[in-house]
Structure 1
Amino acid sequence: MFATATRNFVEEVDRGRSLIPVSSLNDTISLLTVVIKKKRYWLWQKPKYLPTDFTLNDILAGGTPIQPDITESEFIKYNGTFGDNIQGNVGANFIQNNVSVEGKDTSKLQSSFGSLKKEELGMPKLIKDSKERLLDMSHCLVEQTMRNNKQVFGIVKERILTTQPCSVIEEVQKEGQFGGMLTVCGAKVTKVSLKENASLSKDSNVTMEIPPHTTLAYALIELEVKHDGHFKLCLMSTVSGGFEEVDSNGRLAPLHHSEKVDFRPVLEEFKEYFKVLSALPSQTKSSLLLQITEVIDDRTALSLLQNSLHHLCYGGVSASVEEHQQQIQDILDLVAQSGASKDAVIKALHLVLSAVDEMSNKCLALLRMCCSSALLPDLELLVQCLLGDGQLPLTAMRQTTLEEEVFDRVQCLFSSSNVFLKKDGDSLRTEVQQEAGNLPIILCIALRGLASLSQ
């Protein structure tokens, strides 16, 4: 809830620039705090940021502690309300059952942060004071971080914090009516059973009180670290930090820098993943799509699901799923029924949900509204159009997709990923906007993966 509120805040005031939202109230972040920037498995994924309990002074080798210049200024007064109201009727055809679902979901997240202030480091003094200083290469944090060439040191140079007690309020109301019978079965036990004319209702109202001087977002300056402990501050956003490495012949290897991704050849490489999902039994695909749709716009559940799939694929520490245990376990149980192809299905879903997890909150809300077996095949055609010559005849699309309300929603979905979509005479035209970054590849992977489950 707090993570969603800070992410909304950053998307509104600094989208795509330097601010990083704080994800936990347990994170204590001040100026000069050392944050580990961890590159993700897929090149197009945004990195994870892991605040530590140390400051730059803690990992310097001897000498006088750096006393930075700090300036404070008023930032903005911020009160934001985010929510959606989704209503609809869905008909789903399963192998032995037909199901009709009528639902109404209302959610609202109100963030009343009030007057915020900004603290910044004086960079000229920091550059002067850090010149010729060395990191303590025997410090446990330095040793453990440099073992992984995907991890980089960053120092907090700016933070946005509250000045008064404030609150985050979340209200959720879900209502549904189900006709027919839907049963999702495991190997031995039925996980979900919704019987004739069943109804479901869920309400929640949670208020979180946030104390003054709480950091909501921060910005980093990365470090280029030499093998002998010398370091430089990466003053430009185009310059990435990292640890200098020594190769097997004792020669110094260059520091790692970020890579740009051309999404067309990458999509070609990933087509086998989508084939794996398309080859699943019809009932399994329908059930997976239904279950995934339920968590798509729940940022916490989505991230935990993606983390669980990463753990199954590549090992590492698995996050606790606690409140969302049953939702996530139901999806993992469906995957476990894939038989000999289970490992391939896990990797394919990890790819797709890693892309979905990179989307903005607005994009996730739009994606959920587009997650129907009737609409997803048309969205797949638009992806093919984007990868091809950018032109698609209107006759290739279903008439319901071209209706004003639905098409407006699809346009907004593509636009939120920096893809231009427009009706042009008797054709549709798609075009990647300038400075689109990796958003188009994220959209294409998400839509192709979900469409594979709708076939």
Structure 2
Amino acid sequence: MSHCLIQQTREKSREVFAVVKERIVTTQPCSVIEEVQQGGQLGELLSFCGPKSTQASVKENSSLHKDSNVSLEIPAHTVIAYGIIELEIKLNGHYELCLMSDTLGGFEVDGPVKKSLVGVSGARDDTPKKSFFQRELEKLRGHFQLLSVLPADTRSSLLQLLKTTMEDREAVSVLESVLDQMCTGKTADLGEVKEASQMQTVQAILNLLEHSDSSPTRSLLSDSSQTPSLLSDSSQTPTLLSDSSQTRSLSDSSQTRSLLSDSSQTPSLLNATHLIISAMDGMTDECLSVLGSCCSPPVLQALQILVQHVAAGSGETLSLSDAGLAVLTEEELYQRTESLFGHSEVTLKREEDTLRTEMKDQPGYLPIVMSITVKGLASLV
């Protein structure tokens, strides 16, 4: 905390530290050209020709026309956009990832104790990281319970729609953006949904949420030019990862709020669905692809057992002879499961008929977003 960079940043209340989670990189050289045309009136006749990038002339009517072309060459392998996760730096030097879209990074200030953030510890301390992991999942229990008590046909339909969404990474991001708008009290703009298949899936999920949620709703409009609005109080909305395309103003971390830490909040179906989609959006492409092939009820139930075991951090082994894990004796399914956990910074080891999980050092947010997605989907089985 005594490093000069830390000290300089702390003096600027609107600056924060962040972790880059994704980048958009050019694969080949490209150029951007801006053409600007301007007109004006002059009282005398003249004409001249400047550099190639700028031309100006005055005709007999004393009207000046100026064309200016500005060209920018961008080489290959250049980062042109990126998404970040902000950090909240504690007074003791430890930090947490701000996984909630409404939670902004910054430095902890002296004063009353604030509610804890929903994040992942990014520095070593005396508290076991797995114990922290378990506490964060427990905060979300209400959302998973709400999903599990839905009518069977609703759960089945929602699970199938989410599985379809997982097959298209762009569809996941689009749906997350739409739900985030509605969760924050805004009307959803479906104009950003470009593909017909994406529109069909997004509309189906919105219709399902509208007709299934018990809280007051307003009718959805099927016309994408309209801006539908759907259910629930925005003050109780969880979200994990903000859309990298969004630009959020930064403020002191003492002004942020952690919604999930308040047990008095009542989850809604919209919030719970948004939670799952936000977690999906935070997963790697490889993780999302593998999980999409593991959405049968028996496999999801087995994955949920493994996730709970990882969160508990007991270090004990699990038996493949247990009814819930027996499906993983099939080699192909085990390989998929091992890949899913591996891409989420969790090691899955098999020794004869037993399984053991081990979280890698400094795993970041990947284990928790994978676990939230798995538990959310398993709640729909």
Q: TM bucket by the smaller chain?
A: 0.5 to 0.7
Aligned residue in 2 for 1:350? 274
Write out per-residue CA displacement over residues 348-373 of structure 1, whole angstroms, 9 at most, x where no aligned residue: 11111111110111111101011122
Aligned residue in 2 for 1:321? 193
Write out per-residue CA displacement over residues 2-41 of structure 1, whole angstroms, 9 at most, x where no aligned residue: xxxxxxxxxxxxxxxxxxxxxxxxxxxxxxxxxxxxxxxx
Corresponding position: 1:405 with 2:332: yes
- State the one-letter code of the partner of 1:391: T
Distance 1:164 1:243 in 2: 37
Write out per-residue CA displacement over residues 118-138 of structure 1, whole angstroms, 9 at most, x where no aligned residue: xxxxxxxxx9xxx9xx99xxx
Match of residue 297, structure 1, among 143, 163, 167: 167
User: Per the alignment, in what secondary structure is the counterpart of residue 375 of structure 1?
Assistant: helix
Match of residue 302, structure 2, among 352, 356, 378: 378
Answer yes or no: is the 8 Å Cα contact 2:17–2:105 preserved in 1: yes
Aligned residue in 2 for 1:122? none
Gaps of 5+ in 1: 1-126, 136-144, 167-210, 224-237, 252-256
- Structure with bigger gyration radius: 2
Query: For 1:158-173, what aligned pairs fall within 5 Å after superposition?
Result: 161=26, 164=29
Aligned residue in 1 for 2:379? 452
The answer to which structure has the higher strand fraction is: 1
In the TM superposition, residue 332 of structure 1 has moved relative to its aligned partner by 1.0
Answer yes or no: is the 8 Å Cα contact 2:119–2:365 preserved in 1: no
In the TM superposition, residue 413 of structure 1 has moved relative to its aligned partner by 0.3
Match of residue 146, structure 2, among 276, 279, 291: 276
In the TM superposition, residue 375 of structure 1 has moved relative to its aligned partner by 1.2
In the TM superposition, residue 242 of structure 1 has moved relative to its aligned partner by 6.9
Answer yes or no: is the 8 Å Cα contact 1:386–1:430 preserved in 2: yes
Change in CA separation of 1:315 and 1:410 when aligned onto 2, cut-off 3 Å: same
Q: TM-score, normalization: structure 2? A: 0.54
Distance 2:108 2:139 in 1: 30
State the structure with bigger RCO (CA 8 A, min sep 6), 1 or 2.
2
Q: TM-score, normalization: structure 1? A: 0.46
- Pairwise CA RMSD of aligned residues? 4.4
Distance 1:401 1:444 in 2: 18
Answer yes or no: is the 8 Å Cα contact 1:355–1:443 preserved in 2: yes
Aligned residue in 2 for 1:433? 360
Change in CA separation of 1:315 and 1:165 when aligned onto 2, cut-off 3 Å: same
Corresponding position: 1:394 with 2:320: yes
Distance 1:313 1:304 in 2: 14
Query: For 1:217-228, what aligned pairs fall within 5 Å after superposition?
Result: 217=80
Match of residue 180, structure 2, among 298, 310, 315: 310
- State the one-letter code of the partner of 2:317: Q
Answer yes or no: is the 8 Å Cα contact 1:152–1:222 preserved in 2: no
Instruction: Name the stretch that deviates more: 380-389 or 401-410.
Output: 380-389
Change in CA separation of 1:426 and 1:401 when aligned onto 2, cut-off 3 Å: closer
- State the one-letter code of the partner of 1:437: G
Query: For 1:134-283, what aligned pairs fall within 5 Å after superposition?
Result: 161=26, 164=29, 213=75, 215-217=78-80, 260-261=120-121, 262-283=132-153
User: Per the alignment, in what secondary structure is the counterpart of residue 280 of structure 1?
Assistant: coil
Distance 1:427 1:392 in 2: 5
Distance 2:174 2:140 in 1: 23
Answer yes or no: is the 8 Å Cα contact 1:302–1:357 preserved in 2: yes
User: Per the alignment, in what secondary structure is the counterpart of residue 298 of structure 2?
Assistant: coil
Change in CA separation of 1:282 and 1:304 when aligned onto 2, cut-off 3 Å: same
Answer yes or no: is the 8 Å Cα contact 1:418–1:440 preserved in 2: yes
In the TM superposition, residue 267 of structure 1 has moved relative to its aligned partner by 0.5
- State the one-letter code of the partner of 1:333: N
